[in-house]
Structure formats: C-alpha cells, structure tokens
Chains A and B, each alone.
Chain A
C-alpha cells in the first residue's frame, strides 16, 4: 500500500490524459454524481454527499472538500464499455450489391475509468463474462481500459454489496484503488500497469497508521450498509416460486419504465436497429440498450410473450438473481442498489425477494 498526496490524484488524471486516455470520472451534473470526461481535480464532486432511498436521490453539500463521500450516482462503467448507443455496422448498397463493413469507433481513445466502486468493478467482471468472448468491440475497449477503484467510506442506504460479496472494499479487478484519507489517499496497486502509473506519480509507502485507517474505513462502510439480502439457495428459491402471488403484487406497483435495467451495471440486453441515409445508399446498424420491461422485448411470432408487468418483473428479477448463475456462473446482481434508488415507485429488490422467501412454496410450481 502506498500514500498519494491529494494533488497526486490531479497528476494521475493529467498523466492518463497525456498518455492518450479518455479519462472518465465522477462529476456533479443535473443534481447527481455522474461519470463523464474529467480534466482535473476541480471536476470531481468535492464536498458532496448523497441521500439515497427507494425512489429517491438527492445531493447535499457538506463543503468539507472531500471527494468520494458518496456511493454512486446512476452511472457505472457499463455506459462506457458497453455504450447505450453504438454504431456497429455500415451497409452500403451500390452497383455490386450490399456490402457490410464494421462502423468506425466514435472515440477510439482508450478509457481510464476513475472512481469506480467495488460493486462497479464486480459489475464489469460480470459483463466480461457476457461480452468478452463474443463482442470484439467490447473486448478491445475492455483490454485497453485502465480501471481505478475507490473504496467506499459512505455507502448508500440502498446498498447491499456485503450481502452479494462484492464490496465495499475493492479487492479485485482494478489497476489502482484509492481510499480517501484525511489529507491524501491510500493507494493500492492491482496490475502491472497500475504499478507503472504509481511509479510515474511519485508516491511513498503507506505507514502502518494509514494501513490501519484503510481497514477501519472499509470495516465501518461494511457496517453502514443500508440493506441486506439473504441469497441462500439461489437460484432454487426463485425457480420454485415462479407462480408466487408476490409477482402479481409487485407487478401492480411496477410501471415497466425500465429505469432499473438502465441503471443496472450488469444488464446487457440490447437491440440492433437500422437507419438509412437520405440517399438510400447506406444503412447503419446501431446497437441500443433494450429492456425486458418493454412489451416489444418479448415480441415473438406475432405476439408479445410477456404482456403483464408481473411477468416482466419476474423475468428481470429471476434473470438477475437466478438464471444468470446458470448462464454465466455468477449472480447478475452486485448489490449496488441503483435499481432501488432509481425506481420511480421505490420497488426494492431486497424487499421483494425477502417477501418471496417469507412464504417460500406458497404456490407449488406445476410440473409436467
């Protein structure tokens, strides 16, 4: 562990930009901490705290100058590694017929993602299992990216990473990880690239006191977790309760607005849509985030498979916590709680699962 002066973080941003990285970090915009391109320390959210709750997100000023005393806004690394809209293919139609070519990258600079929380780093590892082998564009962005984690000191009231085993301490998947101390930062190195950046920054070894402080911050954050979830017997619990009355109950509250899937750092479903140039000569195939909460998502053979909001909620929650494990060997939930915070009616996944568990087997699933 190392010690980095406060302005060392500014030097890190500068160093990365100098090396050609597109440096993405937290910044305050529209009343939220969002991730966007940052050029220096001044862009970071100094003296800001979040108040999060089901269907509620507010920023409060503390004016204490601290940079990372918040959990996370709606953005995670997903928005950059798997952009909400991305041109994939250009198809030209000329005299020799159709010809398809990969669309060029809109911004080909490698990404440096700064300020990711442990849940966000885990979410990237989850999406790696989805995309890395199958999607060249994702792979190229992922392999060139620098990931800089930040240990949470002040988790949100909707957070439950401790239950999911994904935080709050960054333990894997980062090049560098920071813990904000009273003056500067404790710095941990997670890769060869991280070590190289550390050397270029000029740091000193952390003292025993600083090490102890990092441990204390992590311990305190774990104890301040806003929510918890019993994940025992997943996927079984959700599979055998597919016809539990709770789905109808939550379906009646759910607006099918898709907010949960948009803020979820692991949701990967997408559409590919065509646009045609005015000349009619070029068609562009663009990938867009899709949501299992829309009707058209399950459109098949001339009909919508999942008509009811209950069926869509069942699909989302069961995929996230159960079938994801069958498909990818890991849970699709990292316990960030964004889906709770950004749900306009405050539906809480931990509450829904607890309710199903409380009357596990209330309705027996019919089998053939």
Chain B
C-alpha cells in the first residue's frame, strides 16, 4: 500500500494563508443541506485553482473549520459552490450565514477524480444523495470535454426525491445532457409526489444503463454502504477494480495530513484521498468501525 511521500507532504504547507470569500447566494437543496455560492474578497482568489473532487476547509468566524467538497465547475475558480449538509457544529452554524457574510477558505486539498483515466472510453458516475455534490464538478468537466469520452453515463439516486440536490437545475441539466448525449438515470428508494424517474436503489440502474465493463471507468460517491454495494455490482458486471474510483468521507480537520483525524488504515483521507482507487480501499471498507 502506498503511503504519502514526505516530499509530497512538504508540497502542501499549512502556511498557505486563509483566503476570504464572500457569500453571494444560498440555495436550499434538501431539507438538511444548502449550496453556498461565493466569490473571493478583493484579490484573495489570486492563483486559486482546483480540480474536480477536491475539497476546501471553510472557516466561520469564532466557530471553526470544516472540510467541504467543492461542487462547482473547476473552469470557474472564482465562483465557488459548496453544498453543506447541516449535521455538525460548524455545518449547523452555516444556517446563520447570509449573502455578504465572509467565509475563510484554505485549499484546495486532496486528490481529484482521475478524469483522464476515462478518456477514450466510457465514464460511469454513480452517486447517492449528498454524494452527488463531490461528483458534480467531474460531471461538468466531462460534459465540457464531451468528445474525450465515448459514453457518459450518470446514475444518481437518493432515498427520496427531497434528498436529491440541485433539483432547481434538473430540467436544465436534463436538456443539456440530451443535447450532449449524456445518459442520465435518476432513481429514488421511495417515490413521493410526481416522481417521473426510476424507483429502487442506485444499483438497480446498472442493467438499464447497459454498462460495457471493458470500456468503463467508474466514479462513485455516496454513503459507504451504497458504495460497497455499487462497487460489488460494478465488479460483478466485470468492471476491473483498478478502474473504479470512489470518494471517501472521514473527519478532516487540517487538510494536510497533520491532525490525524481522517485516518483510514494507512491512509490520511485528506491527502491520500478523498478519491481512492477501489482496490486500494475496498478491503478497509469491509472492516466495521475502521
């Protein structure tokens, strides 16, 4: 198993200053999450760039920092979107933010989705619930360079329609994806109201999507139990484990492999991940409470 190399660690100094961003717009996504759109204050965004799958440490004055994946388009690093689920001390304090409020930003941190790995073949993106947020930049990047991929397949699921983020953009996305020939499949476990798409856990979409395993590179993000089942499902279809990637979530406090909290086996999820190759991480996912 590979560990983070000392020189690589040195390349991400903590001394990197906190930049300040200003909230522009807050979009409620699900009953317990909202997307915070922000731009940089003054020149604070100078030299800032990120890749799909990376995260920032967001700081609220007097409250603390929290690791949030970047959900916006990497093409526009001066217009950042973070979808925050209000489940902890800091993320709950996000509820009090209003447009014009300031947020401290350190980052970007972590390994991005390896979009180049999928080039020339099919890219299958499987996401569940808030797991859609960290894959969204990958979807945007892949759509922008649509010609680099053969098939682009998006399998998105949630427990209920309520829990699927970015619904306000869904119609726009569906139209754009139709135009670009992106195969979008949506499913929920429990349909409520006028749900026009599939019903069932996200793995039930696999047969429908007619995944061609030999050409496929897959990205997964969602609750660990979903990723375990989706991973096994993809393996059963014949997708090689070294072409399946997933984004892990652990308690990340520093972003640079220093505070220790996000350890998973030999890895610091913040620097060795959050995106891992399935074969590196699957045995660890099988052990409870690791």
Docked pose: A130 CA to B289 CA in angstroms = 25
Asked whether, in the complex, the Cβ of B283 is within 8 Å of the Cβ of A327, the reply is no
Instruction: Kindly identify which residue among B1, B278, B282 contacts A326, using a CB–CB cutoff of 8 Å.
Output: B1
Q: Given A97-B102, A302-B87, answer yes or no on A290-B259 (Cβ-Cβ < 8 Å).
A: yes
Instruction: Kindly identify which residue among B232, B258, B265, B289 contacts A135, using a CB–CB cutoff of 8 Å.
Output: B258
Over the window 82-106 of chain A, the binary record of Cβ atoms lying under 8 Å from chain B Cβ atoms (1 yes, 0 no) is: 0000000101010001101000000
Which of B23-31, B58-66, B109-117, B157-165 faces chain A?
B58-66
Tell me if A283 counts as interface (CB < 8 A to partner B): yes
Tell me if B196 counts as interface (CB < 8 A to partner A): no
Contact partners of B282 in chain A: CB under 8 A: 367-368
Asked whether, in the complex, the Cβ of A136 is within 8 Å of the Cβ of B62, the reply is no
- Give residues in A with beta carbon < 8 Å to B: 89, 91, 93, 97-98, 100, 129-131, 133-136, 235, 239, 242-243, 268-276, 280, 283, 290, 292, 297-302, 305-308, 310-311, 314-315, 319, 322-323, 326-329, 365-368
Q: Given A134-B9, A368-B232, answer yes or no on A268-B290 (Cβ-Cβ < 8 Å).
A: no
Q: Given A98-B104, A274-B62, answer yes or no on A306-B88 (Cβ-Cβ < 8 Å).
A: no
Instruction: Kindly identify which residue among B18, B85, B254, B263 contacts A301, using a CB–CB cutoff of 8 Å.
Output: B85
Over the window 10-25 of chain B, the binary record of Cβ atoms lying under 8 Å from chain A Cβ atoms (1 yes, 0 no) is: 1011110110100000
Docked pose: A129 CA to B1 CA in angstroms = 19
Tell me if B266 counts as interface (CB < 8 A to partner A): yes
Asked whether, in the complex, the Cβ of A93 is within 8 Å of the Cβ of B61, the reply is yes
Docked pose: A302 CA to B223 CA in angstroms = 12
Docked pose: A227 CA to B260 CA in angstroms = 29
A85 to chain B, nearest CB (A): 15
Contact partners of B13 in chain A: CB under 8 A: 133-134, 136
Tell me if B251 counts as interface (CB < 8 A to partner A): yes
Asked whether, in the complex, the Cβ of B251 is within 8 Å of the Cβ of A298, the reply is yes
Which residues B112-135 have CB closer than 8 A to chain A? none
Docked pose: A165 CA to B1 CA in angstroms = 25
B128 to chain A, nearest CB (A): 13
24 contacts between A and B (CB under 8 A): A98-B61, A133-B13, A134-B256, A272-B253, A274-B63, A276-B62, A290-B260, A290-B261, A292-B263, A299-B88, A299-B251, A305-B251, A305-B289, A307-B289, A311-B289, A315-B290, A323-B263, A326-B266, A327-B266, A328-B3, A328-B6, A365-B286, A368-B283, A368-B286
Docked pose: A272 CA to B265 CA in angstroms = 23
In the A-B complex, the 4 residue pairs with the smallest Cβ-Cβ separation, listed nearest first, are A302-B87, A269-B260, A311-B289, A368-B282
Q: Given A133-B6, A311-B289, A365-B283, answer yes or no on A300-B249 (Cβ-Cβ < 8 Å).
A: yes
A112 to chain B, nearest CB (A): 26
Instruction: Kindly identify which residue among A273, A275, A305 contacts B250, using a CB–CB cutoff of 8 Å.
Output: A305
Docked pose: A235 CA to B4 CA in angstroms = 16
B280 to chain A, nearest CB (A): 11
Contact partners of B4 in chain A: CB under 8 A: 327
Asked whether, in the complex, the Cβ of B251 is within 8 Å of the Cβ of A130, the reply is no
Docked pose: A133 CA to B12 CA in angstroms = 9
List the A residue with the shortest CB-CB distance to B4: A327
Contact partners of A272 in chain B: CB under 8 A: 64-65, 253-254, 259
List the A residue with the shortest CB-CB distance to B268: A327
Docked pose: A91 CA to B103 CA in angstroms = 12
Which residues B87-114 have CB closer than 8 A to chain A? 87-88, 102, 104
Docked pose: A266 CA to B238 CA in angstroms = 44
B86 to chain A, nearest CB (A): 9
Contact partners of A322 in chain B: CB under 8 A: 266
Asked whether, in the complex, the Cβ of A271 is within 8 Å of the Cβ of B9, the reply is no
Asked whether, in the complex, the Cβ of B41 is within 8 Å of the Cβ of A97, the reply is yes
Asked whether, in the complex, the Cβ of A274 is within 8 Å of the Cβ of B251, the reply is no
